[in-house]
A and B are shown apart, each in its own frame.
Chain A
Amino acid sequence: MSSARAVRAQARAEIAMTLRRGESLLLTLGIPVVLLGFFSLIGYPDRTVTGGIKTAAFLTPGIAALAVMSTAMVSLAIATGFERQYGVLKRLGTTPLGRPSLLTAKIAAVLVVEALQLVVIWLAGVALGWQPRGDVITVGVEVVVATAAFAGVGLLMAGTLRAEMTLATANGIYLLLLLTSGMVVPLSKLPGSVQGIARALPAANLADALHATLGTGGGVPARAWAVLLAWAVLAPLAAARTFRWE
């Protein structure tokens, strides 16, 4: 196990590289903030879409879920996929950093970027008319559990597919889940079969959890916790078992 100094240096480097990648910033901050601003300002054509509540109040928790998904799954998958392709991961294999430390640094970097995203979305939501509510600890736990689930899925792709394939797949999933996970369109407005699939996936359950905590104020559904936790355990396990470093 390498020193804490090595992990700190690695995490700092990961954060700097993430914040310097334009396409990553577009995905993790640009698109979420634009969606939040656009729909909050023009509103939905039909007010019943959001169940009568203010658009920003519906959108802010959903966009927060989108932001977490974009960083923990999409951005992590793409970066790691290319690091594998460029031989960076292989090269690190003969340094004392070690794989557990590399993973620790990557997760720390993801959590830091997520915290930045949530601050921006929080401020944007307030500016657009969202009444802040929900406690930071519950949100924190939801985000950490969902991050484990999404990171597991992202690393599963990055460790098995070619980098270009990971890029395409991760972006495709991002768009699909953005539309079908209750992030910008409530689940109840989607066909029953789509709802059924969505409720088995981490994205919709994080959106549900954040809607409950940051939005309507109801308790987080037990189903949301159960599905998130299951993905948080199984996806990283699958990634660990299949990951190819070269």
Chain B
Amino acid sequence: MTAPVVVDDLVVRYGALTAVDGVSLTALAGTVTAVLGPNGAGKTSTIETLEGYRRPTSGTVRVLGLDPIADHAAVCRSIGAMLQEGGVYPTMSPSDALRLFAAYYPDPLDPDELLERVGLLDAARTPWRRLSGGERQRLSLALALVGQPLVAFLDEPTAGVDPGGRIVIRDVIRRLREDGVAVVLTTHELDEAARLADRIVIIDHGRVVADGTPGELTGSGAGSDIRFGAPPGIDVDALSVRISARVTEVEPGEYRVDGAGTPERVAALTSWLAERGIALGDLRAGRQTLEDVFLRLTGDTGTSPVLTGPRQRRRHRAGSR
């Protein structure tokens, strides 16, 4: 059986800008595939090509074996899409919106049951424009699912959602996996990808830089360097010489050592800091977190919004308009 979602050497250009530059990926039924990358990496362009909004400049995309543009009507009956911007009538309540969307599909879910599943029963009669960001995202998710899709495309499903809402959204996504749906979601939040995904595809500058299970990505082979936190602006050149490995400040106050995390090197590092009275924030050697992998693969220079704080998320949303 072919995979429900197949992207093969996809290139998407907007004029002179190449948004997607040879991406290939597949997503299987009953799995959650997270497409992870910094802003502008080409995640949304990839998803929107799968949804039929963008025409590939070259390469092919197939959803359930169909071309999302040529077979648009057939594809739309079997997919559920959650866009980054809500796209709901501002005066419409969740209850009315779900009932309306249910009428588009041959075999929809019960709108009330779905409202309960996404935790919107209390807001069922509130117009969309008065819903909170998290409530809007949950309604948007419910609208994507009301038609019982075989494939769900979720673009930043938890962006701007409060912790309680995130738990609800994660539960809904896990249930989709149990029901055999192929879920493809984008995120720039590592934590989200690590929690949800069976498979993570890391994209940067329009290219796939890593593809594997969370365990494969953080496991052996990749995890040999040292990361530590200290006040910004320490003399990395002097430190590099002392510990015989290159030290880079990847974010202000976040340092990476490109060299094996041996006890000797860690000892040299800490004594160098101690001699200068520099406080050590945290220290990690050996096995990497997904964040370490991500920062290394995306050649991060400290400008990536990958460290998820509210500030970065806002900047991301403003930049995506």
Contact = CB atoms under 8 A, between A and B. Distances in A.
Nearest to A92: B87
B53 A96 contact: no
A137 interface: no
Interface in A98-154: 98
Given A17-B91, A86-B87, A88-B87, A94 B81 contact: yes
A interface, size bucket: 20 to 34
Interface stretch (B99-107, B160-168, B179-187, B311-319): B99-107
A6 B104 CA distance: 5
Contact of A96 (B52, B76, B143): B76
Contacts of A83: 89
B73 A95 contact: no
Contacts of A2: 104
Contact of B96 (A5, A13, A87, A96): A13
B110 interface: no
B92 A95 contact: no
Contacts of A162: none
Interface in A65-85: 82-83
Interface string A1-44: 11101101110010001001100000000000000000000000
A221 interface: no
B265 interface: no
Nearest to B143: A91
A6 B106 CA distance: 9
Contacts, number: 73
B288 to A, nearest CB: 37
B83 A95 contact: no
B76 A1 contact: no
Given A91-B83, A93-B53, A96-B147, A9 B90 contact: no
A90 interface: yes
Given A1-B73, A87-B85, A95 B91 contact: no
B110 to A, nearest CB: 16
Contact of B89 (A6, A8, A17, A97): A17
B222 interface: no
B147 A95 contact: yes
B266 interface: no
A137 B12 CA distance: 53
Contact of B73 (A13, A17, A96): A96
Interface of A: 1-3, 5-6, 8-10, 13, 17, 20-21, 82-83, 86-88, 90-98, 246
10 contacts: A9-B99, A9-B104, A13-B89, A88-B89, A91-B87, A93-B52, A94-B79, A95-B105, A96-B76, A246-B53
Given A87-B87, A96-B104, A246-B53, 17 more contacts: A10-B103, A13-B89, A13-B96, A17-B89, A17-B91, A83-B89, A86-B85, A86-B88, A87-B86, A90-B87, A91-B143, A92-B87, A94-B52, A94-B76, A94-B79, A94-B81, A96-B73
